[in-house]
A = this chain, B = another copy of it.
């Protein structure tokens, strides 16, 4: 699942069973506040003291109330101590009352946690169009604010899920001048994953100290290559956000770009995001395949990405992958639906190391061998446009009976 195998990677150690609370100074708590039937549905991620926080948010025009409120908070203050997360209700399309409920959640959280209101962010995930039950939220705040612990990360990773099957969490560390720098994160998402300068719900923390300007840069660049390059179904969520918080607890400070420290940290952050993304795609609803679509030779990165997503979001291609049928014509048709001009006579397509198209036309290949490659859980396609240096790698999955079942009869899973 690595996008890179830079030497720098050797400096970084993955922590076994690592999660967000592996990062020193990060406390979490979670509980069942009653929005959902039984599953835990409420969490607090808490980092006391001075922090810096950056966020990227969904570009959906129906951005949910917690997205609007958290964006507004972050716009004026980067010292964030608490993220309040509920699952089950998205608090999207809820109008003025939805905003008020998100603001009341912020206010109550500040009171229960004894921190300034401006230091609180909120995130929600779940069904659109329902108002948050503030009494249940208050119950969650009351319970969780008195049960914060640095050992609760794993439970919190579970509590933020909706109908994801598996929690997504990871932590890494590297040593710098005798100090250990940690980066740890959790995420949720298995459906409505087609971000656009935004991500699925994810919260990442580090004990490095990083100026807000650099933090923004690190988050945007790493999210762009990871969260913005996955798609499970082409559907964009109203609630997506990725937050990155640095508490400086390690004593290590990143003050400048392109230093050794900056570069190690950036790779580490990239690896954390990449890992969370791979887990989101692997847990795509009903998915049986994880498909990496590499697009090279495009005129630029955006062209590569758009073409990769055309393929990733073709449900005919996804269905062929489920059926383990090397029906590559569906890849060609998807590429061909790209709006701008492309020179189709230069395009090569390979599945693994088997070319199925060269210079825009079919080539003889051993179909049985190709279909055998499709029996693996991990499948790779290479599309080369042979027209420039633009590159992208899109991670997606197949579409299955199970996806239809889960999403046709969603209410029954709640």
Name A residues whose Cβ lies closer than 8 Å to a Cβ of B: 60-63, 90, 92-98, 127-131, 191-192, 194, 196, 233-238, 313-316, 319-320, 322-323, 325, 327-330, 332-338, 341-342, 344-345, 356-357, 359-362, 399-401, 403-405, 407-411
Question: Which of B90, B96, B313, B360 is the one whose CB lies under 8 Å from A62?
Answer: B360
Task: Please state if A332 and B93 are interface contacts (CB–CB under 8 Å).
Answer: yes
**22 A–B contacts, CB within 8 A, in A order:** A62-B335, A90-B329, A93-B332, A93-B362, A98-B361, A128-B328, A196-B337, A233-B315, A234-B315, A235-B316, A235-B333, A235-B337, A236-B333, A237-B333, A238-B333, A238-B336, A319-B410, A322-B408, A323-B407, A325-B409, A401-B405, A403-B404
- When distances are taken between beta carbons in the complex, the residues of chain B under 8 Å from A333 are 60, 62, 92, 128, 192, 235-238
User: Considering the chains assembled together, what is the distance between the CA atoms of A361 and B356 in angstroms?
Assistant: 48
The 4 closest A-B CB pairs, nearest first, are: A128-B329, A323-B408, A95-B361, A62-B336
User: Considering the chains assembled together, what is the distance between the CA atoms of A128 and B328 in angstroms?
Assistant: 8
- When distances are taken between beta carbons in the complex, the residues of chain B under 8 Å from A403 are 315, 319, 404
- When distances are taken between beta carbons in the complex, the residues of chain B under 8 Å from A341 are 61
Besides A323-B411, A401-B404, 10 new A-B residue pairs in contact (Cβ under 8 A), listed by A number? A62-B336, A90-B329, A128-B327, A128-B362, A191-B316, A234-B234, A235-B316, A316-B407, A323-B407, A323-B410
Q: Determine the main DSSP class of A at the interface with B.
A: loop
Task: Please state if A319 and B408 are interface contacts (CB–CB under 8 Å).
Answer: yes
In this complex, the member of A196, A336, A361, A410 whose beta carbon has the largest number of chain B beta carbons within 10 angstroms is A336
Task: Please state if B362 and A130 are interface contacts (CB–CB under 8 Å).
Answer: yes
- When distances are taken between beta carbons in the complex, the residues of chain B under 8 Å from A322 are 404, 408
- When distances are taken between beta carbons in the complex, the residues of chain B under 8 Å from A96 are 361
Nearest residue (CB) in B for A97 is: B361
Question: Which of B60, B319, B328 is the one whose CB lies under 8 Å from A336?
Answer: B60
- When distances are taken between beta carbons in the complex, the residues of chain B under 8 Å from A400 are 404, 408
- When distances are taken between beta carbons in the complex, the residues of chain B under 8 Å from A94 are 361-362
Nearest residue (CB) in B for A341 is: B61
Task: Please state if A325 and B411 are interface contacts (CB–CB under 8 Å).
Answer: yes
Task: Please state if B61 and A344 are interface contacts (CB–CB under 8 Å).
Answer: yes
CB distance from A331 to the nearest CB of B (A): 9
Task: Please state if B332 and A92 are interface contacts (CB–CB under 8 Å).
Answer: yes
Q: A320-B410, A357-B129, A361-B94 are in contact. Are A344 and B401 (CB under 8 A)?
A: no
Task: Please state if A327 and B359 are interface contacts (CB–CB under 8 Å).
Answer: no
- When distances are taken between beta carbons in the complex, the residues of chain B under 8 Å from A342 are 61
CB distance from A367 to the nearest CB of B (A): 10
Nearest residue (CB) in B for A406 is: B319
CB distance from A385 to the nearest CB of B (A): 11
CB distance from A48 to the nearest CB of B (A): 35
User: Considering the chains assembled together, what is the distance between the CA atoms of A300 and B335 in angstroms?
Assistant: 28
- When distances are taken between beta carbons in the complex, the residues of chain B under 8 Å from A407 are 315-316, 319-320, 323
Nearest residue (CB) in B for A357 is: B93
User: Considering the chains assembled together, what is the distance between the CA atoms of A60 and B341 in angstroms?
Assistant: 10
In this complex, the member of A61, A233, A322, A357 whose beta carbon has the largest number of chain B beta carbons within 10 angstroms is A61
Nearest residue (CB) in B for A233 is: B315
- When distances are taken between beta carbons in the complex, the residues of chain B under 8 Å from A128 are 327-330, 332-333, 362
Nearest residue (CB) in B for A361 is: B95
- When distances are taken between beta carbons in the complex, the residues of chain B under 8 Å from A93 are 329, 332, 357, 360-362
CB distance from A301 to the nearest CB of B (A): 18
- When distances are taken between beta carbons in the complex, the residues of chain B under 8 Å from A328 are 128-129
Task: Please state if A192 and B316 are interface contacts (CB–CB under 8 Å).
Answer: yes
User: Considering the chains assembled together, what is the distance between the CA atoms of A233 and B313 in angstroms?
Assistant: 10
- When distances are taken between beta carbons in the complex, the residues of chain B under 8 Å from A360 are 62, 93, 95
User: Considering the chains assembled together, what is the distance between the CA atoms of A360 and B238 in angstroms?
Assistant: 13
Task: Please state if A236 and B337 are interface contacts (CB–CB under 8 Å).
Answer: yes
Nearest residue (CB) in B for A126 is: B329
Q: A61-B335, A129-B332 are in contact. Are A404 and B234 (CB under 8 A)?
A: no
